[in-house]
Structure 1
Amino acid sequence: MFDQNRLFYVLFGLVVIFQTSSCHKTIKNYGAYCANDTARGDPNLIPIDESQPRFINKVENGTLYQIGAGEDQVWLIHVYGNTGYDFGYAYGTLLRDQINKVLPRAWAHFEEEILKELKNLKLPKWFVDFVVDKGLSFALDIQNDLVKKYMDEEVYNEMRGIADAAQVDYKTVIRLHMLGEITRGRCSLYGLWGNATLGGKTLQLRALDWDVDGGLQDYPVITIYHPLTSKLGHPFANVAWAGYIGTLTGMSSLRLGISEIGVSFPDDTFGDESMAGLPFIFVERHILQFSETLDDALSFIANVRRTCHLILGVADGKLGTARMVQYSHSIVNFFDDQNLQPLADWHPRIPHAIYSGMDWLCPSRQYKLYKAITDQYGQITPELSIKNITSVVKTGDLHVGVYDLTDNIMYVANARGTNEQGPMEAYKRQFVKVDLNVEFARTR
């Protein structure tokens, strides 16, 4: 075994590797990308698919549907249960084929990307030898050991249920969920309400700009959770891929929405990071699963043991407002439209709006999102956002979620899958409409 100091450098090195490989840009190139990307994208003129879910299969504690048309179809799965294992077993049974296809492909891709980056980064030889010798699996097992005591045991039970039903390795399922903590992703978000939107609706954007080469978009899944006991919270919707139960995108039955941005370019207001704490994908999931109000969500964020540098967005359709969160291990700050940060000429404040484009210090992307919002100000609907905001700003490579938290409706698009046609980026593709009033009310 190696000592704790060496463990620290190993884990720190992995953070560097993943941050520089995310979106296939080094830190240097990504900085230039933020500074110089001023070209506007074209509007997305593809009609939104509003067709009804099509029944596919049913098992105890689960029902599988498909939504969307043509190449832009999404699996819609409902799981019911008294335990996390109930959720996972139904999920793994209904999506066994998809899980067994995406898991090895995605895992092989991420391993390859790490080894590729090792050759280009100036890292100590002992560290390079360590990663080559021990591999990604070993490092992620260490990561899991560091977070285990902060995790909800029912989440592990759910992963166990997936592994048992889909007949995949349980440790591999866990490792998949540790990747988010060190890859994060470059994304955009907004929360709009009051005068910013048509009719004063509360809207939220979650645009995920992440790796489109791992095949995740071949198996997009929206999971509707139906707890049958209060210890599992209340119904919520999670947007991800087959086998992935952490939350990056989603809405709750109590009309809370969540968004997230990984931060590569913080300023000195962020504080430090830690590898030990509750992974942010499960912080976000806890908010959707257990928080009843915006205040509940912000209180949880303030008191949970946090980990890395992030920007979170939380919106509440009941209260008709949203907050942006500056998030790190040691510091957390909450912003509304009156005190939004960073305050700069490239990131002005907008009444009844919080927003962030791609990173904390990313002037061109921040300003593009500002312009897109203000150009449509007062008239913004989910449809207009899909047409003239995400597509013009060019954000949401892997998937995009637009939430109508007033009417409890979600719009989702995914990147082009293998052997599919048309544009690669999700924001250029067809969105599907999901009426969560209907989906949350579905019973066994």
Structure 2
Amino acid sequence: MSSIHLSLFCLFAVIYPVHLLDPSCTGNYNTNPIIRDEPTFVSSVPNGKRFVVGTDYTKINIVHVYGGTPYDMGYALGSLMSKELNILIPEYFAYLDKTIEDELKKLPPFVAKWIAELGIPGALDLNYEITRIYTPPWFDEEIRGIAAGSGVSYQNIRRLNLIPELIKAACTVLGAWGESTLTSALLHVRSLDWDDQAPLANYAIVTIYHPNASYEGYADHFHEFYKQENYKSHAFANIGYLGMIGSIGGYSEASIGLGEKVWITKEQDITTRFGNPWTYVLRDVLQFSHSIDSALTMFTNAHRTCSIHLGLGSYERNVSAMNDENIGFRGIEYSANELNIYNWEDMFDTPHHPRLKNVVYWDKHVQPSDDPCLGSLLVKGYGQLSPEIIIQNITSVAETGNAINFVLDYGENAAYVAYSAPDDPQGPLEAYKRAHIRLDMAKLFSEPAPK
């Protein structure tokens, strides 16, 4: 995302500093060790548990919610994070009020007009009114639960969740597997370039949803919104910000992963504001899809809105050998009227974006990119890619992922996550420069419900 907003949303060692080979790479190595601590229990409520991992300004809240119903999960989240939500919501909207004037020129003209005429709350309320008939009911129910559990107003939680629909992010998407990686397993990078100084970063959270079979009561709604009969809910993780229940990036128990970046296109007629907000569609795909094909079917049938790039990963575990048949990654151009699907063979091949076998990527710039940095780093690191290599020598050198940076290792079933730290007096500010925390996703998905 751009300075405050989602503008919309939306190698162990290389022998010598690869960024010196290309003057467009201006970053430095991230030499921080990976933090491998186990999460520490904090508290529990009916249908929820809270843990923390890391210390001080690297701390991430790990919140498990169990359902029940969407309302139950929302109520648990609101109860566990009540103090933080009551501080964050007024703090964040006050921050937006102070910074929005400088941001208006960076936003789509009609969004800037909405905000200028209606103010930020009014623009978000308008966006709600034109999207609500396209949005599955479980989102509104969960937001009502968060509000009831925390005491924060329903309207403000709802508004917070539509910020990504108004204003987008310049991010990096990368999927690499097979010959390109050290272990052949799928690696998936979601680097969020947004406002790294926003107070949202002070409340870093990974929310683990454990929905139960009662979600089957929503089967008719699922078919209505996605025109798909194959209905099954999985545990999944949202790697994002407190109070935002849609997905800006995440990973599921079915080993489906998603990340996003803005798709800047001159084809204005391919987008609309009348549909299901993209963060909600991504969340539903994480929760309900079980393969590349089922995810793509949901994307095809969704009431899509804005133009974004997506990275969609899938990994089948119960097979004897890993190959292109059971490791999947697709780059997607997603908008109201277009859905374009790419594998590595379909990616464009330019001097600054070389086509690489088993690698799908978009850097943080307008596509096709004229910036050679990321492509040159991937060429240099080809065959050696691992989470540590990517964190140390790629995202940091390319300076991408200033707000949130995470790498999913589907083979390890692990996520490596860092957030920006605007209040850290020792710095650094940007997520890609900071220590990353390794999360064992298999353990998180198997965490038992509170008794």
Pair in the same fold by TM > 0.5: yes
Q: In structure 1, what is the Cα distance between the partners aligned to 2:247 and 2:49?
A: 20
Pair 1:60-2:46 in alignment: yes
1:168 match: 152
Deviations along 1:301-345, whole A, 9 cap, x unmatched? 12212111110010112121200001111111100011114x422
Deviation at residue 287 of structure 1 after TM alignment: 1.1
Q: In structure 2, what is the Cα distance between the partners aligned to 1:257 and 1:118?
A: 32
1:224 to 201, 204, 208: 208
Q: In structure 2, what is the Cα distance between the partners aligned to 1:430 and 1:122?
A: 35
Q: In structure 2, what is the Cα distance between the partners aligned to 1:181 and 1:123?
A: 14
Pair 1:106-2:98 in alignment: no
Q: In structure 2, what is the Cα distance between the partners aligned to 1:380 and 1:407?
A: 14
1:263-278 equivalent positions in 2, closer than 5 A: 263-264=263-264, 266=265, 272-278=270-276
User: Match for 2:334: what amino acid?
Assistant: Y
Deviation at residue 350 of structure 1 after TM alignment: 0.8
Contact 1:19 1:182 in 2 (8 A): no
- Structure 1 residues 399 and 118: alpha-carbon distance in aligned structure 2, compared to 1, 3 A threshold: closer
Structure 1 unaligned residues grouped into runs of 5+: 1-17, 25-35
**What percentage of aligned pairs have identical amino acids?**
32
For the aligned residues, what is the CA RMSD? Answer: 2.4
Report the 3-state secondary structure (helix = DSSP H, G, I; strand = E; otherwise coil) of the residue aligned with 2:275.
coil
Contact 2:47 2:68 in 1 (8 A): no
2:328 to 302, 309, 321: 321
Q: What TM-score results when the alignment is normalised by the length of structure 1?
A: 0.87
Q: In structure 2, what is the Cα distance between the partners aligned to 1:206 and 1:120?
A: 23
- Bigger relative CO (Cα 8 Å, ≥ 6 apart): 2
Deviations along 1:356-402, whole A, 9 cap, x unmatched? 0014436344x311111121111111111111111111100101110
Structure 2 unaligned residues grouped into runs of 5+: 8-21, 217-232, 317-325
Deviation at residue 289 of structure 1 after TM alignment: 0.5
User: Match for 2:200: what amino acid?
Assistant: L
2:220 match: none
User: Match for 1:317: what amino acid?
Assistant: Y
2:420 match: 415
- Structure 1 residues 215 and 195: alpha-carbon distance in aligned structure 2, compared to 1, 3 A threshold: same
Q: Number of paired residues?
A: 409
Report the 3-state secondary structure (helix = DSSP H, G, I; strand = E; otherwise coil) of the residue aligned with 1:402.
strand
1:291-330 equivalent positions in 2, closer than 5 A: 291-318=289-316, 319-330=326-337
User: Match for 1:150: what amino acid?
Assistant: Y
User: Match for 1:423: what amino acid?
Assistant: P
User: Match for 1:406: what amino acid?
Assistant: G
Q: In structure 1, what is the Cα distance between the partners aligned to 2:179 and 2:299?
A: 28
Deviation at residue 37 of structure 1 after TM alignment: 8.3
- Structure 1 residues 123 and 279: alpha-carbon distance in aligned structure 2, compared to 1, 3 A threshold: closer
User: Match for 1:326: what amino acid?
Assistant: E
Pair 1:196-2:194 in alignment: no
Report the 3-state secondary structure (helix = DSSP H, G, I; strand = E; otherwise coil) of the residue aligned with 2:254.
coil
Report the 3-state secondary structure (helix = DSSP H, G, I; strand = E; otherwise coil) of the residue aligned with 2:57.
coil
1:124-135 equivalent positions in 2, closer than 5 A: 131-132=115-116, 134-135=118-119
Q: In structure 1, what is the Cα distance between the partners aligned to 2:394 and 2:109?
A: 40
Report the 3-state secondary structure (helix = DSSP H, G, I; strand = E; otherwise coil) of the residue aligned with 1:412.
strand
Contact 2:263 2:333 in 1 (8 A): no
1:246 match: 246
- Structure 1 residues 420 and 158: alpha-carbon distance in aligned structure 2, compared to 1, 3 A threshold: farther
Report the 3-state secondary structure (helix = DSSP H, G, I; strand = E; otherwise coil) of the residue aligned with 1:195.
helix
